[in-house]
Amino acid sequence: MALLNVLCYPDSRLHKVAKPVAQVDARIKKIVADMADTMYEAPGVGLAATQVDIHERIVVIDISEEQNELRVFINPEIIWSSPEKKAWREGCLSVPEFYDEVERPAQVRVRALDVDGKEFEVDADGLLAVCLQHELDHLQGKVFVEYLSILKRTRISQKLKKRAKELAGER
Ligand code: NI
């Protein structure tokens, strides 16, 4: 088991755009396993590779209550979004202790490769739809706070910078 360091907003590396995975090989499988360990340890319901400073299109999600249904999405793409929208209160491991409402399409269809490199599609609604859109945004270098007002974003950014300093013992 290996835990990866999760980047914290407003780290500029969170805004890098991830590249597609060329081949699902042993290296990618190791990244997936480490990302899953990191997500479960946090604990969180989703993690994008961007958040652990790996800029390749890899996402892990587990929205199950028991945290025993790992879903892996390699090179995921949203191939359909519903015109209907829904607002959810979102949080993010890269934005600790902040939650706010974001409106997104209520349903999406995503095409991706699984951990064996096999293509699949999933029709998602509810929390899974929110999670997929949130994590795919990360791969594009977008953090959910960017949907909020500049005022809110600035406040979050200031508080997290202060928190990071405190954690580093530089008060
Ligand atoms: Ni996030």
Distance CA 108, CA 12 (A): 28
22 CA from centroid of ligand 1 (Å): 24
Distances (CA, A) of 66 to 70, 92, 127: 11, 20, 15
**pLDDT averaged over every residue in the chain:** 97
25 CA from centroid of ligand 1 (Å): 25
95 CA from centroid of ligand 1 (Å): 7
* pLDDT score at 169: 83
H-run or E-run covering 103:
strand 100-105
pTM score, two decimals? 0.96
pLDDT band at residue 171, thresholds of 50, 70 and 90?
low
pLDDT in tens, 19-33: 999 999 999 999 999
Instruction: Tell me which residue of 33, 43, 94, 31 sits closest to 67, measured CA to CA.
Output: 43
pLDDT in tens, 44-98: 999 999 999 999 999 999 999 999 999 999 999 999 999 999 999 999 999 999 9
Q: Is 146 a catalytic residue?
A: no
Neighbours of ion ligand 1 (CB under 5 A): 92
29 CA from centroid of ligand 1 (Å): 21
Distance CA 166, CA 47 (A): 25
Distance CA 107, CA 129 (A): 6
* pLDDT score at 170: 65
Pick the catalytic residue from 135, 146, 166, 170. 135
